[in-house]
Amino acid sequence: MAEAQAETAEKKERPILPFLHLPDQAGEKAYLQGSKCKQCGTAYLGPRMACSRCLSTEPMEEIRLSDRGELHVFSIVHQSAPGIPVPYIAAIVDLPEGVSVRCNIEGVEPDPKNLKFGMPVEMFTEKVHTDREGNDIIAFKFRPANSGKK
Amino acid sequence: MRDVAIVGVGMIKFGRYPEKAVQELAGQAALLALKDAGMTMKDIEIFVSGNLYQSNAMIGQRILKEIGQTGIPVINVANACATGSTAFRTAYMAVSSGQYDVALAVGSEQMGKMGLLGAGGGGGGGVSPEGIVGSGLMPAVFGQAGVEHMRKYGTTFEQFAKVAAKNHKHSVHNPYSQYQVDMSLEDVMNARVVAWPNTLYMCCPTGDGAAAAILVSAEKAKQYTTTPIKVAASVLTSDPWSERDLTLPDVNTLTRNAAKLAYEQAGLGPEDLNLVELHDCFATAELLHYENLGLCGEGEAGKLIDSGDTYVGGRIPVAPSGGLLSKGHPLGATGVANICEVAWHLRGQAGDRQVEGAKVGLAHVIGLGSACTIHILQK
């Protein structure tokens, strides 16, 4: 019992993908981590060993990506793997740093007529799962800009 | 580099064969190709096996245990959906380099009712990001690629649906096709959506299948056949850096690069092609590749399908076999099956789906991640 309590006490929030940076302290906001090539300026989601565009191996600059972007394209998935609720909007969002992000769009009915190319969207995070050790799995999602309740 | 010719091809009808092992399916196709070339396994100097899900289990050697073990070198190839065509190209390189005179390439796969591909793991805590952080499912990825074409050029859902109606119509005449069901445009458009804008009949099925081809040096070809098919170009590319490639796989740039190289190698252009078998894994994909392969100008793919020119009997028939949409897409088999189809047309052996007078054909395959092959075959 004592062990179980100790585990519970250490329960943490963990990001669903490694490039989602969760706040270290209360009051901070989660953000997507990127990296930027010091030679050609190309930006990437997450870290890179080298620039796949200009081939520079100079260590990249770590950057904090914006939480606002524009909807580039989408699909609406009506049939997915077992256990995954459908339908959902699977989108590609462009961020101002020149990085694109694969994500779900929420806060709008999944119908093509509700989605406009280039529409502004904003990132939010929420708990989507509890893992085997009891940690909260936090995911990032996007929704139409200024529609947020959180 | 020396010229290479195809002297034997064979495939089994794509479908579902739960009672058979995949090496039996592959063995059947290999024996058909050997018979077609008038050869036995004694003549084969090198064997390249394309199979995605069994490539880590010595599938090539297991195939030889079915049809003849002569101790020749075997190469097991995996390259996503381009697995079969990469096996064919590897056999081509073995002969064109002068190392071997006679090579056998076999593509095979047994998928059963595998369901949707691409919903892999990779998330923290063993939680898959699929459906939470967008989608890596193939229908969604190719849906997005189609939506990008809509965004750029105003292409419509109906134009994408027309691709499927065409390919299903073609399939009726192909006895090797997994499905041979003529379907109206309305049937296609009214089917349930799998991932917008692709409905059920705009997605290729999963299934089992195998196909084989025998390649020899051009100077030896006449020993085996009076109708050798020249491999005028063989190209393999991967995806170069492009703006959104990491999140929205760029299926266009590497196809364009491959097409440019292939046309240069063959000394031919898109205007010289009499038929094309391209990678229509989804109806949206076929329209993108019209432009990528230079069959029409930028942004004109919608017009091309509207014109009817890509039907058999039209200016440039695409997917006379029924394409992946009807014929099926057992991953490792697909790339070799496309070669078989083009070869049959060039020999005048394609039955009721024959493209009359075909002299030059192109086979294109793309595997996501990405790999693209283009082969141009010539009579």
DSSP A7-55: HHHT--EEESSTTEEPPSSTT---EEEEEE-TTT--EEES--SS-TTT-
Q: What is the DSSP letter of B314?
A: S
CA distance B310 to B12: 26
pLDDT at A4 over 90: no
A104 vs B contacts (CB less than 8 Å):
131-134
B134: left (phi over 0), alpha (psi -120 to 50) or beta: left
pLDDT, one tens digit per residue, over B319-347 is: 999 999 999 999 999 999 999 999 999 99
B125 vs A contacts (CB less than 8 Å):
14, 16, 129, 131-133, 135, 137
In this prediction, residue A10 carries a pLDDT of 66
Counting the structural domains of chain B, the total is 1
A117 touching chain B per CB within 8 A: yes
Our measurement of the distance from residue B204's CA atom to the centroid of its chain's CA atoms, rounded to an integer in Å, reads 12
pLDDT at A8 over 70: no
**A91 membership: H or E segment, kind and range:** strand A88-94
> Where in chain B does DSSP place strands (E)?
4-11, 46-50, 74-77, 102-110, 193-195, 198-199, 208-217, 229-238, 275-277, 360-367, 371-378
pLDDT at A150 over 50: no
Our measurement of the distance from residue A94's CA atom to the centroid of its chain's CA atoms, rounded to an integer in Å, reads 12
Residues with Cβ within 8 Å of A149's Cβ and at least 6 positions away in sequence, in order, are none
CA distance B160 to B282: 9
pLDDT, one tens digit per residue, over A62-81 is: 999 999 999 999 999 999 98
CA distance B183 to B189: 10
Tell me if B99 sits within 8 A of B347, measured CB to CB.
no
Contact criterion met (CB < 8 Å) for B135 and A100: no
Show the tokens assigned to A149: 């309740």
Contact criterion met (CB < 8 Å) for B248 and A140: no
CA distance B32 to B20: 17
Tell me if A107 sits within 8 A of A145, measured CB to CB.
no
Report CA Rg, chain A. Answer: 18
Q: Which residue of B has its CA nearest to A116?
A: B151
pLDDT interval class at A24 (50, 70, 90): confident
CATH number at residue B289: 3.40.47.10
Distance from CA of A3 to the nearest CA of B (A): 21
Q: Is residue B151 part of a domain?
A: no
Report CA Rg, chain B. Answer: 19
Taking only residues 4 to 23 of chain A, the set having a beta carbon closer than 8 angstroms to any beta carbon of chain B reads 14-18
b/e sequence A7-24, b meaning 16+ C-beta within 10 Å? eeeeeeebbbbebbbbee
What Cα–Cα distance (Å) separates residue A77 from each residue in A105, A110, B81, B143?
12, 9, 22, 9
Tell me if B107 sits within 8 A of B334, measured CB to CB.
yes
Please indicate whether residue B375 is annotated as part of the active site.
Answer: no
In this prediction, residue A133 carries a pLDDT of 87
- Enumerate the domain spans of chain A: 13-22+29-144
CA distance A87 to A102: 16
pLDDT at A2 over 70: no
Q: Say which amino acid occupies B141.
A: V
In this prediction, residue B113 carries a pLDDT of 79
**What is the three-class DSSP state of A4?**
helix
Q: What share of chain B is helix, strand, coil (3-state, %, to 5)?
A: 40, 20, 40
A141 vs B contacts (CB less than 8 Å):
132-133
In this prediction, residue B123 carries a pLDDT of 56
Distance from CA of A81 to the nearest CA of B (A): 7
In this prediction, residue A39 carries a pLDDT of 97
Q: Is residue B346 part of a domain?
A: yes
The minimal CB distance from A75 to the residues B124, B128, B143 is found for B143
Contact criterion met (CB < 8 Å) for B247 and A102: yes
- Phi, psi for B234 (deg, rounded to 5): -140, 115
Q: Is residue B209 part of a domain?
A: yes
Distance from CA of B147 to the nearest CA of A (A): 6
Q: Tell me what percent of the residues of chain A surpass a pLDDT of 70.
A: 91
Which stretch of A8-12, A49-53, B223-227, B305-309 has the lowest confidence by average pLDDT?
Answer: A8-12
B114 touching chain A per CB within 8 A: no
Other CB atoms within a 10 A radius of the CB of residue B314 amount to: 14
Q: Which residues of chain B have pLDDT under 50?
A: none
Domain extent at residue B107: 4-113+205-378
